Structure 1
Amino acid sequence: MSSQTPVAEAIPDIPIPEPRRGLRGHPWLTLFSVAIGVMMVALDGTIVAIANPAIQQDLGATLADVQWITNGYLLALAVALITAGKLGDRFGHRQTFLIGVVGFALASGAIGLSSEVSLVIVFRVLQGLFGALLMPAALGLLRATFPAEKLNMAIGIWGMVIGASTAGGPIVGGLLVEHVNWQSVFFINVPVGVVALLLGLVILKDHRAKNAPRSFDIPGIVLLSGAMFCLIWALIKAGEWGWGDGKTWGFLIGSIVLFVLFGILETKVREPLIPLRMFRSVPLTAGTVLMVLMAFAFMGGLFFVTFYLQNVHGMSPVDSGLHLLPLTGMMIVGSPLAGAMITKFGPRVPLVGGMVLTAVAMYGMSTLDTGTGTGAMSLWFALLGLGLAPVMVGATEVIVGNAPMELSGVAGGLQQAAMQVGGSLGTAVLGAVMASRVDHKLPGNWDGAHLPPVPQAQLDKAADAVAVGISPVPKGTPAPIAEKITAVAHDTFISGMGLAFTVACGVAVVAAAVAIFTKRGVNAEAGAGVGHI
């Protein structure tokens, strides 16, 4: 099939969306409507990190409580994404999207009204569950509404919204916490949710494929949810427990066992949650792996950038967010351009090129040190945004575009789940790389600076602080010694961060190789099945 042949023309079962009159079902208005809802979910992935210290102080929360405020949301989102996509395929993506918007906004308002940290955690979990309903439904609506030749552009803008919202979270959160209060971080979702609901009611049109699923694979949902929970939980807790700890390996092994049982089950049920024949499509499988690797390098690397800017360079949360604007800006500019390039040339070349640029940016970021100026930082951040843009767009189109229409929700959930797994894996693995490097380097750097010797237990505690760029200077330490400790801490952190970015660079190179196996979605459907793609 020619690269210029629209996907819908090759499949007689899929009606080509006709030009719309009026608001309902209008493609670009549909994109605008779902983008508002998606913005809420993406923003909340990073905005709350800025509010956590204020929540901890106001509600008297423990460190474990604060961790659950973040982890509860991420766990619920990751565990429920694929099941939520299936719900959209079964009951319609419009209905699923609107329920997700309403639930997310109500949960956000409830968090702002909460006076106990336990309630904040409960409603954060609900936020994650409703966000999981919303995200795959948004992709399903775009897939069904846009003609094939314009789908890449639509996904490009959709990716731009996610990238800008994710990177803009620290800026928005910092401004709200500094000038209003921590509750405003959540209350802001209520009017946004109302706007998204009203637009959705007026604009969104329900689309259902002829072969939409009519039943639910309940055992499959239970097994997949359990497997995802064990995997994400192990990755979240690995830094605290240690990679050699029995609890970490227990959850990882449990995850593998549940995934295997899920795979066996899916070959036997009539309407599986994820038809495994989807993965006979080499492009779809490559797109999923690519999304995991991209998120590994991007989110794992970005995790250290915030510590570098705030703890090494001493920036405020707002200032650090502003320093990331080159990254955000290039994603905003690059995503629609990437969509246009992918439409014209197909996804393979932009995806390979994007991951090569990402690898170069990661290598450049491995050279950052305590004296690096704003100009050099901005160069590497901008290059990273330029590299990520085509991957966010292209990998999404490859996954969703190579899945059958009746499984577009599942494909959207798979895309988002791949991002969550990759991000969690990147943060955990690169965090372990950082911790190992700090443990190895700190004693030698401490002795080399001729600092007073300290007990091993105290040095181990200092290493935990150094791993996030904090200088472990005890109160009352004379200024000359404090300066030496700070220099040692920052140099050691920089060494660990450089190694972590080098690993991320290697992962990006592997991802570039995987991208070679991607191609434009052809949606081989009824009769032939996905296996013949």
Structure 2
Amino acid sequence: MATVALQSTEGKWIMASTIMASAMAFIDATALNVVLPSLQQSLRASGPDLFWILNAYLLMLAALILIGGTMGDHFGRKKIFMAGIFIFILGSAACGISSSAPMLIILRVMQGIGGAFMIPGSLSLISSSIREKERGKAIGTWSAATTLVTMGGPALGGALADAGLWRYIFFINVPIGVVALLILAFKVRETKDKTSSKKLDFEGAIAIAFGLALLTFGFLRIPTVGFSHIQGYGSVTAGLLLLLAFVFIEKKSPQPMMPLNLFHNKMFSGTNLLTFFLYAGLGAGMLFLSLNMVQIQGYTQLQSGLTFLPFTIFMVVNARFAGGLADKYGPRLFLITGPFLAGAGLLMLSFVGQTRGASDYWITFFPGILVFGFGMSLTVAPLTAAVMGAVNDQFSGTASGINNAISRISGVFANAILGALAVLFFTGALQKELIGLPLHPQQKQVILGQAINLGDAQVPSDLPASVKKQIKTVYQTSFTKAYKKIMKVAAGLAFLAALTAFLSIKNKPG
């Protein structure tokens, strides 16, 4: 298929459909962070249940997004893109009627399968259909629009959650998906790599899916059973072995879904390592910031969502502009400065302790969110353009899949590893805070057992009223200490991303 101009009628339809479909997938991550308290109460979900609700989706994205991109190259990018949208909206509707946490976790897997075929299709269609000279601008437009919706997700989620309508976070995807399908069916032509064979790497997909699932399970179980338990060390070890098997399979496969030779390109390797560090920091930072605001600081879920508006505004104003400048001057400066500023913002947020609630927002959380948002707005479009520009057009779907998989894998690790760390930090702080309180050892054990629920830790009902008040304060103090440590880890990951860019990113891919 011949490439089209960004401003042509077909170019506009391509942009509209890819933005709408991508927005559906991306909004889930940010909106769900805000509605977790309502969801937890409605479905009576435990702390680990919440991490699984987040990770079930990310896990399938990480495992199958690679093969989703390859299938688009093989069978037709539009065809696979539309199949993904269809599965995703079915999964979303089913999630909306879930009656229990286990049911929602299973249906989030279905959403993830749809997203794995849908997300790489967006950038792949843009890269293969839009003229090369306008590609950076197109990707910048896509980044700005999808990020606007993504970062607007917390405000929408908060409003719906406060109204008791958290399920509409899922239902809202249905009409958006249907419109995107109609646009693709009638306004966008098919495009695929005609030189590609049709053999797909299902062995690799199975290895990475089970490897990531076992790692996630192991890390989320360690705070409860300890690393010495087989559920801890056994799952983590088996997961690592399966990921090593995945690398071996990819090395030997005639048609690998992750061609390892692409990583011989220093630019491609560097952008993906940068993506891993940055998005791990982003995911952990946003999750724990949202939990802190609602469960500890006393924000309503709508107020928590609205706190991200400065982030959204920066993305809208800067993303397309940064994408255009990266086209002209190269991505290196943006990919060093952006992650560094994002890390600085996360570090600033790590120093915020107990506040008086939303009335203190402007002098507590706002400065950090401002710097964090500005850094991310300088990074998103140049990073995406650098990834896609590091490979030949015939690998556009595969490259998109790999980069999206890396960002989702980083989210899985952020939720699993940093979630486990947060429980350990919370438990350690609780133990110190409980010293000297008039409690029996058995009561202390019950209180410590609530650490797995983090900010939703419940005060035992059999305690005197005066002691209950003390325990509630202890929970708040301990969570705040854990939050501060996690945010510093998130900041460190963003700084690592900036260092990676400094060492590996060039303005002209080599």
TM-score with structure 2 setting the length = 0.88
1:320 aligns with 2:304: yes
Specify whether residues 115 and 298 from structure 1 end up closer, same or farther in structure 2 by C-alpha distance, changes over 3 A only.
Answer: closer
1:87 aligns with 2:75: no
Partner of 2:119: 135
For the residue of structure 2 that corresponds to 1:78, the secondary structure is helix
**d(CA) in 1 for partners of 2:6, 2:401:** 28
**d(CA) in 2 for partners of 1:431, 1:122:** 20
For the residue of structure 2 that corresponds to 1:468, the secondary structure is helix
CA RMSD of aligned residues (A): 3.1
Partner of 2:19: 35
What pairs up with 1:77-226 in 2 under 5 angstroms? 77-113=61-97, 120-179=104-163, 181-226=165-210
Partner of 2:370: 382
For the residue of structure 2 that corresponds to 1:267, the secondary structure is helix
Contact 2:47 2:452 in 1 (8 A): no
**d(CA) in 2 for partners of 1:41, 1:327:** 19
**What is the CA distance between 1:179 and its match in structure 2?**
3.5
1:415 counterpart (388, 400, 403):
403
Specify whether residues 239 and 138 from structure 1 end up closer, same or farther in structure 2 by C-alpha distance, changes over 3 A only.
Answer: farther
Contact 1:438 1:467 in 2 (8 A): no
**d(CA) in 2 for partners of 1:89, 1:314:** 49
**What is the CA distance between 1:436 and its match in structure 2?**
3.2
**Aligned-pair identity (%):** 27
**d(CA) in 1 for partners of 2:472, 2:40:** 27
Partner of 1:439: 427
**d(CA) in 1 for partners of 2:451, 2:171:** 33
**d(CA) in 2 for partners of 1:47, 1:240:** 28
Partner of 1:341: 325
Partner of 1:526: none
Q: Structure 2: give runs of 5+ residues left out of the alignment.
A: none
Contact 2:223 2:420 in 1 (8 A): yes
2:494 counterpart (481, 490, 508):
508
Contact 2:214 2:239 in 1 (8 A): yes
1:465-519 CA-to-partner distances (Å, cap 9, x unmatched) read: 4973356544476665444434333232222222222222222222111012123
**d(CA) in 2 for partners of 1:146, 1:521:** 20
1:72 counterpart (56, 60, 75):
56
Contact 1:363 1:501 in 2 (8 A): yes
1:235-257 CA-to-partner distances (Å, cap 9, x unmatched) read: 45445444454323323322332
**What is the CA distance between 1:380 and its match in structure 2?**
0.6
**d(CA) in 1 for partners of 2:25, 2:381:** 18
1:452 aligns with 2:452: no
Specify whether residues 498 and 181 from structure 1 end up closer, same or farther in structure 2 by C-alpha distance, changes over 3 A only.
Answer: closer
Larger mean Cα displacement after TM superposition, 33-42 or 269-278? 269-278
2:474 counterpart (479, 488, 492):
488
1:323-374 CA-to-partner distances (Å, cap 9, x unmatched) read: 2222233233332222123122211110100111012112211210113721
**What is the CA distance between 1:172 and its match in structure 2?**
1.8
1:391 counterpart (379, 384, 401):
379
Q: Structure 1: give runs of 5+ residues left out of the alignment.
A: 1-14, 523-532
Write the letter of the residue equivalent to 2:428: H
1:19-68 CA-to-partner distances (Å, cap 9, x unmatched) read: 479633x1x43122211011111112343456666667667777776665
For the residue of structure 1 that corresponds to 2:454, the secondary structure is coil
Contact 1:267 1:276 in 2 (8 A): yes
1:518 counterpart (501, 505, 510):
505
Contact 1:334 1:390 in 2 (8 A): yes
**d(CA) in 1 for partners of 2:505, 2:73:** 25
**What is the CA distance between 1:135 and its match in structure 2?**
0.1
1:292 counterpart (247, 269, 276):
276
Specify whether residues 445 and 118 from structure 1 end up closer, same or farther in structure 2 by C-alpha distance, changes over 3 A only.
Answer: closer
**d(CA) in 1 for partners of 2:249, 2:495:** 35
Specify whether residues 459 and 224 from structure 1 end up closer, same or farther in structure 2 by C-alpha distance, changes over 3 A only.
Answer: closer
Larger mean Cα displacement after TM superposition, 340-349 or 150-159? 150-159
**What is the CA distance between 1:320 and its match in structure 2?**
1.0
TM-score with structure 1 setting the length = 0.85
Structure with the largest fraction of helix: 2
Contact 2:46 2:453 in 1 (8 A): no
Specify whether residues 257 and 60 from structure 1 end up closer, same or farther in structure 2 by C-alpha distance, changes over 3 A only.
Answer: closer
**What is the CA distance between 1:196 and its match in structure 2?**
0.9
